Amino acid sequence: MADLEKLITVAKETVSRDDVKHLIGWRQGTYGFRVSPHFITEPEEADKLIFSPLCNSNLVNYLTWVEKLPVPRGQEADTRKVALMVKGCDSRAVVQLLIEQGIKREDVIVIGCPCEGVIDLAKAEEMFPNVLEQVEARWDGEKIVFKLPDGEKAVPREDVLADKCLRCRYPNPVLSDVLLGDEVKTEGNDDYADVDGMEEKTTKERWAFWEEQFSSCIRCYSCRNVCPMCYCEDCILDRLNPTWINRSNNISENTAFHLARAFHLAGRCIECGECERVCPVNIPIMTLNRKLTKEVREKFDYDPGTDPDSKPLQASYLPNDQENFIL
324, part of any domain? no
Mean of the per-residue pLDDT values for the chain? 92
CA distance 25 to 212: 37
- Tell me, what's the pLDDT at 28? 96
Q: How far is CA 301 from CA 145, 175, 233, in A?
A: 38, 20, 30
Is residue 25 located within the same domain as residue 167?
Answer: yes
141, part of any domain? yes
Model confidence pLDDT, tens digit, residues 224-282: 999 999 998 888 888 888 888 888 889 999 999 999 999 999 999 999 999 999 999 99
CA distance 181 to 137: 18
With a cut of 70, say whether residue 1 has pLDDT above it.
no
- Tell me, what's the pLDDT at 36? 96
Q: Which of 35, 65, 64, 61 is nearest to 49 (CA)?
A: 35
8 A C-beta contact, residue 211 and residue 251: yes
Give the count of domains, the chain.
2
- Tell me, what's the pLDDT at 3? 81
CA angle, corner 179, sides to 271 and 34, nearest 5? 55
Average pLDDT over residues 177-204: 90
- Please tell me the pTM assigned to this model: 0.92
- 13-27, 39-53, 167-181, 183-197: lowest mean pLDDT where? 183-197
CA distance 286 to 280: 14
HEC secondary structure over the chain:
CCCHHHHHHHHHHHHCCCCEEEEEEEEECCCCCCEEEEEECCHHHHHHEECCCCCCCCCCCHHHHCCCCCCCCCCCCCCCEEEEEECHHHHHHHHHHHHCCCCCHHHEEEEECCCCCCECHHHHHHHCCCCCCCCEEEEECCEEEEEECCEEEEEEHHHHECHHHHCCCCCCCCCCCEECCCCCCCCCCCCCHHHHHHHCCCHHHHHHHHHHHHHCCCCCCHHHHHCCCCCCCCCHHHCECCECCCCCCCHHHHHHHHHHHHHHCCCCCCCCCHHHHHCCCCCCHHHHHHHHHHHHHHHHCCCCCCCCCCCCHHHCCCCCCCCCCCC
117, part of any domain? yes
Give me the domain span that covers residue 125.
Answer: 4-179
Strand pairing class (108-112; 81-86): parallel
Is residue 233 located within the same domain as residue 284?
Answer: yes
Model confidence pLDDT, tens digit, residues 94-104: 999 999 999 99
Question: Which of 156, 179, 202 finishes a domain?
Answer: 179
- Tell me, what's the pLDDT at 326? 63
Is residue 258 located within the same domain as residue 149?
Answer: no
Question: Which of 124, 152, 179 finishes a domain?
Answer: 179
Question: Which of 179, 202, 226 finishes a domain?
Answer: 179
- Answer whether the bond into residue 284 is a cis peptide, omega within 30°: no
222, part of any domain? yes
Model confidence pLDDT, tens digit, residues 25-84: 999 999 999 999 999 999 999 999 999 999 999 999 999 987 676 778 888 888 899 999
8 A C-beta contact, residue 84 and residue 59: yes
Q: How confident is the model at residue 12 (pLDDT cuts 50, 70, 90)?
A: very high
- 1-10, 153-162, 277-286: lowest mean pLDDT where? 1-10
Average pLDDT over residues 153-173: 95
Is residue 167 located within the same domain as residue 226?
Answer: no
174, part of any domain? yes
